[in-house]
Amino acid sequence: MVALFCKSEISGVPIPATSGDKPKIIAVANQKGGVGKTTTAINLGTALAAVGKKVLLVDLDPQGNASTGLGVDADSRGLNTYDLLLADANIQDVVCETLVPKLYLAPATTDLSSADVELADHEDRATRLRNILRGEDVGQFGLDYIFIDCPPSLNLLTVNAMVAADSVLVPLQAEFFALEGLSQLMLSVREVRQSVNRNLRIEGVVLTMFDARNNLSRQVEQDVRENLGELVYKTIIPRNVRLSEAPSFSMPALLYDHTSKGSIAYQKLAAELLRQNSRN
């Protein structure tokens, strides 16, 4: 079923052949919580896996919501991203399979909550994740994409993600303070680009939790598009009950109900991302 449900939205999209090469690394980041960041990472990864892409989701949030949302409960998480960053664990011992074929997970536990403080004592504190994800051991997985689900703050974990990444994908809730928070994130991206990762760019901004009946949502969309132009994805993720329900069943919304408006939107977002990357 997983291999079939996205065909209606993604069929005919040029699929860039990246297997065998280095995977594209995308940090999913927004320092504001509750904007659909983890939902985006899970469902975008699922949609890409459904059309044959091999995807790794790195859970870098101590809350571990991405791990739970992919069906890996806390009791079954052995080595995790804390061990990867601070205990010299090998990535092949951390990565596990998920409910979705071709979608793999480096899980997180609450151990990661102390990582920000512990990393501060290390000289390579900002580059640890980059060294791991761009190391030879990752090659054995034959990945096309790596998504990093960042914590809802601009701390050392998020900096590690940006330093490791090729680009940053920004889920942006359609609300009044959206642009204010976005400007802070853009400044952080610029600082990382200037100091450590000069190739870092914005992959795109995706509007989430959008209510078309709400005048404010439409106004936020207009403001964001006027300010950021083509950086904003055409696809909009609606506010949708099925997207909210799926995590309580420990599965992506695209498995929980692939016909829901939210699931269809993420299929369209995956198609848009593939088209964008086929041109690059």
Q: What is the pLDDT of residues 45-67, one digit of tens each?
A: 999 999 999 999 999 999 999 99
Starting at the edge strand found earlier in the chain, the sheet holding 96-97 runs 96-97, 103-106, 55-59, 145-149, 24-28, 167-173, 201-208
Residue 98 lies in a domain: yes
Structural domain boundaries enclosing 13:
7-279
Mean pLDDT of the chain: 90
Residue 72 lies in a domain: yes
Residue 129 lies in a domain: yes
Domain containing residue 28: CATH number: 3.40.50.300
Please tell me the total count of domains within the chain.
Answer: 1
Q: At residue 3, does pLDDT exceed 70? A: no
Residue 2 lies in a domain: no
Residue 1 lies in a domain: no
pLDDT digits (tens, 9 = 90+) for 169-217: 999 998 877 777 788 899 999 999 999 999 999 999 999 999 988 888 8
pLDDT digits (tens, 9 = 90+) for 80-113: 999 999 999 999 999 999 999 999 999 999 999 9
Q: Is the pTM of this model over 0.75?
A: yes
Query: What b/e string do you get for 58-70 counting C-beta neighbours within 10 Å, with b at 16 or more?
Result: bbbbbbbbbbbbb
Instruction: In whole angstroms, give the CA distance from residue 168 to residue 17.
Output: 21
Instruction: In whole angstroms, give the CA distance from residue 149 to residue 58.
Output: 6
Residue 205 lies in a domain: yes
- 83 sits in the region (left: phi over 0; alpha: psi -120 to 50; else beta) called alpha
Q: At residue 228, does pLDDT exceed 60? A: yes
| Confidence tier at 14 by pLDDT (50, 70, 90) | very low
Instruction: In whole angstroms, give the CA distance from residue 199 to residue 231.
Output: 16
Residue 83 lies in a domain: yes
Residue pair 254/47 in contact (Cβ under 8 Å)? The answer is yes
Report the share of the chain in percent with pLDDT over 90: 77
Residue 249 lies in a domain: yes
